[in-house]
Amino acid sequence: MASAKTDGVTVVDHPLVQHKLTLMREEHRSTQGFRRLLNEIGMLLCYEVTRDLPLEQIEIETPISKMMAPKIAGKKLVFAPILRAGVGFLDGMLELVPSARVAHIGLYRDPDTLVAVEYYFKAPHDIADRLVIVIDPMLATGNSATAAVERLKERGAKDIRFVCLLAAPEGIAHMRGEHPDVPIWTVAIDEKLNDHGYIVPGLGDAGDRMYGTK
Ligand code: URA
C-alpha cells in the first residue's frame, strides 16, 4: 500500500482508501453507507499499521513437503477504540487480526471547553506486553487522543500507535508534542479546526453519522 511519511505521521494514500474517504465526506451519504465505509477503511488501515510487524520462520508441512515459512513473531495486539466513534474501525480490524484483544476507552468532549472527560476504561491486564493500536476516526484538537494515550501509559502500555481517518494540523501538533513516541496513521490531513473544534472541511460528526444520532 502506498503511503507518505513525515515526522511520525503516515498518510495512507492508497487510491481505494482515498476514494472511500471521499464517499464518506459527502453530506448525503446514508448512515448505513457511512458505517460500512468506515469499517472497510478500518480494515485497510489495519493492514497498513501492521506492515512492519516482525516475522519469524517456522517449520511447517505442506501436503508436498516440509518448509520454513514466515509467521508473525513477538508482541500480540490490542485495539483500543476511543468511544464511541472509534468503534467504527473495530470490526474491520478484528476481521484481519481476530486474536487481538480490545481496550475500550470512554472519553467525551466537553462541548464548551473541548476537554476530554473519561467515563469508562477497560483494558487487558497484560497491556504492557502488547502493541496497542489506539483508534479514533477524527484527530481534531487531539484532546481525546492525548488523554487516551496518557491513560494507556498509566496502565503500563509502552508500545502505542494511533490510527485515525482524518486529522487536523492542530491535533497532529498536539499529539506529536505530548506523545512523540506514538506514531500516527491517517488517510488525510485537512485544513484546520473551526470554532467548535470540528475539522474543516472534514466530514461532520463521525459518531453521529455512523450511528444516525442527528
Ligand atoms: N469529532 C468529529 O466527529 N468530527 C470532527 O470534525 C471533530 C471531532
Q: Which three cell numbers stand for residue 112?
A: 464548551
Sorting pLDDT into bands at 50, 70 and 90, what band is 1? very low
What spacing in Å lies between the alpha carbon of 60 and ligand 1's midpoint? Answer: 47
pLDDT at 214: 83
Q: Which three cell numbers stand for residue 190?
A: 485537512
Is the CB of residue 198 below 6 angstroms from any atom belonging to ligand 1?
Answer: yes
CA–CA dist 149, 179 (Å, integer):
8
Is the CB of residue 159 below 6 angstroms from any atom belonging to ligand 1?
Answer: no
Domains of the chain: 3-211 (3.40.50.2020)
Q: Which residue has the higher pLDDT, 117 or 111?
A: 117
Looking at the chain, the whole-number percentage of residues with pLDDT higher than 90 is 89
Grid cell 448512515 is found at 31
pLDDT at 172: 97
Average pLDDT over residues 184-200: 96
CA–CA dist 112, 65 (Å, integer):
65
- Please check the confidence at residue 105 and state whether its pLDDT lies above 60: yes
Looking at the chain, the whole-number percentage of residues with pLDDT higher than 70 is 99
Sorting pLDDT into bands at 50, 70 and 90, what band is 6? confident
Say which of 113, 126, 181, 213 is annotated catalytic.
Answer: 113
**Interval 70-85: pLDDT, tens:** 999 977 999 999 999 9
- Please check the confidence at residue 193 and state whether its pLDDT lies above 90: yes
CA–CA dist 138, 59 (Å, integer):
42
CA–CA dist 124, 103 (Å, integer):
6
Say which of 109, 129, 155, 176 is annotated catalytic.
Answer: 109
**Closest alpha carbon to 186 in 19, 79, 29, 48:** 48
Sorting pLDDT into bands at 50, 70 and 90, what band is 110? confident
Average pLDDT over residues 19-38: 97
pLDDT at 33: 97
**Interval 126-173: pLDDT, tens:** 999 999 999 999 999 999 999 999 999 999 999 999 999 999 999 999
pLDDT at 72: 92
Closest CA to ligand 1's atom 3: 205
pLDDT at 167: 98
Sorting pLDDT into bands at 50, 70 and 90, what band is 200? very high
CA–CA dist 33, 134 (Å, integer):
24
One-letter-per-residue 3-state SS of the chain: CCEEEECCEEEECCHHHHHHHHHHHCCCCCHHHHHHHHHHHHHHHHHHHCCCCCEEEEEEECCCCEEEEEEECCCCEEEEEEECCCHHHHHHHHHHCCCCEECEEEEEECCCCCCEEEEEEECCCCHHHCEEEEECCEECCCHHHHHHHHHHHHCCCCEEEEECCEECHHHHHHHHHHCCCCCEEECEECCEECCCCCEECCCCCHHHHHHCCC
pLDDT at 162: 98
The answer to whether 20 and 39 have CB atoms below 8 angstroms apart is no
Q: How far is CA 66 from the centre of its chain?
A: 38
pLDDT at 2: 46
